[in-house]
Amino acid sequence: SDKQRKDVRVWCDGCYDMVHFGHANSLRQAKALGDKVIVGIHTDEEITKHKGPPVFTEEERVKMVKGIKWVDEVVLGAPYVTTLDVLDQNNCDFCVHGDDITMTAEGVDTYHLVKSANRYKEVKRTAGVSTTDLVGRMLLLTRNHFRQGSAEYDIEKEAKSPWTGCSQFLPTTQKIIQFSDGKSPNPGDKIVYVAGAFDLFHVGHLDFLEKAKKLGDYLIVGLHTDPVVNSYKGSNYPIMNLHERVLSVLACKFVNEVVIGAPYCVTEELLEHFKIDVVCHGRTPIALENGKIDPYAVPKTRAIFELIDSGNEMTTERIVERIISHRLEY
Ligand code: CTP
Ligand code: C5P
């Protein structure tokens, strides 16, 4: 019977450095091929050996992957070349990877063992998003710096930002449906609302959303539009455009619903429309609209506003700084 049928356990592995919605989309497709998704993550040491040090530590990379809603288990220390032993040790039936070839430092296909044992399946790589592309967009912020220093990197060609050109990713309603859980709140659910940029979705956002979700039963995230984010972050921010930020946030297991282009000020109408019980914000500064109006004035007056301490110091700007120093070193 169905009840006795053993779960099909799917193994995925990789670096998962700078996790983006392309990674999430591969795990979503892996989940559809079985019942449970087990993700093996390479240690910092293993990655350094094969392609140079990662930008994010193994603790950060593990946390980001655990935050993705299609992931059931995470295992740190997966070998760079996937072995049949590692599949067996984790009771996995087969391994899933995107349709790009990955090689070891010696030029060996990292999946040759599982391929010849017929325990390998491929999913479609998400076009238009990659770590290289995101790094290029971030380096655009330091164009002058790079012109003066090591000039070999062609930033103009590589970088894409909503403010300088278009991202190569083509958002569709189909993709949003695939990422969405499609559930409305249940009657009586306590509804939590947060809003922000959520640019380059990171561990700080994840810790914040986990705490926000604990304040209620159903979490709605409002995403500000690109011009609004740019008006308070300046420079070339946001690095990821609204459509990309929607998918990154939807992939997070704590999030139930996303408002695509939320108003900067949390209004009476918004609170009524979504029947919001509590509104929260982290410890990062709250920019005033036109330098005057507190965007949380209405929920504060209603006494439904709460400050949350994510306990995490990560910010989008810190990631950009890390990328820049990383690029200068290697
Ligand atoms: N992946 C994907 N689509 C992307 C990027 C990655 O489907 N746009 C998949 C890879 O095919 C792999 C998994 O995500 O199955 C994790 O692999 P990882 O080694 O972390 O990814 P990279 O290929 O290095 O990702 P990137 O190029 O963005 O660094
Ligand atoms: O900066 P951004 O608008 O993306 O932040 C979204 C929300 O996440 C804000 O409420 C912010 O205070 C919170 N946050 C946090 N801890 C971090 C980073 C962001 O609580 N390290």
Tell me, using a 6 A CB cutoff, whether residue 126 lines ligand 1. yes
pLDDT of 147 reads: 39
pLDDT of 169 reads: 80
Distance from the alpha carbon of residue 109 to the mean position of ligand 1, in angstroms:
15
The residue type at 44:
D
- The best mutation among 255, 284, 313, 321 to test binding of ligand 2, ranked by most ligand atoms within 8 Å of the C-beta, falls on 284
User: Residues 6 or more apart from 146 whose CB is under 8 A from it?
Assistant: 139, 153, 155
| pLDDT, tens digit, 9 for 90 and up, residues 47-96 | 999 989 999 999 999 999 999 999 999 999 999 999 999 999 999 999 99
DSSP strands (E only) in the chain: 9-14, 36-41, 73-76, 94-98, 120-123, 191-196, 218-223, 257-260, 278-281, 305-307
326 burial type by CB count under 10 A (0-12 exposed, 13-18 middle, 19+ buried): middle
Residue 251 pLDDT level (bands cut at 50, 70, 90) = very high
- The best mutation among 207, 208, 321 to test binding of ligand 2, ranked by most ligand atoms within 8 Å of the C-beta, falls on 208
**What integer is the mean pLDDT of 268-273?**
97
161 burial type by CB count under 10 A (0-12 exposed, 13-18 middle, 19+ buried): buried
Helix (H, G, I), strand (E, B) or coil at 239: coil
The full set of domains in the chain, from first to last, is 9-123 (3.40.50.620), 131-169+318-329 (no CATH), 173-314 (3.40.50.620)
| pLDDT, tens digit, 9 for 90 and up, residues 157-211 | 444 455 544 567 888 899 999 999 889 999 999 999 999 999 999 999 999 999 9
Q: What is the pTM of this model?
A: 0.92
**Which residue has the CA at smallest separation from atom 29 of ligand 1?**
131
pLDDT of 136 reads: 87
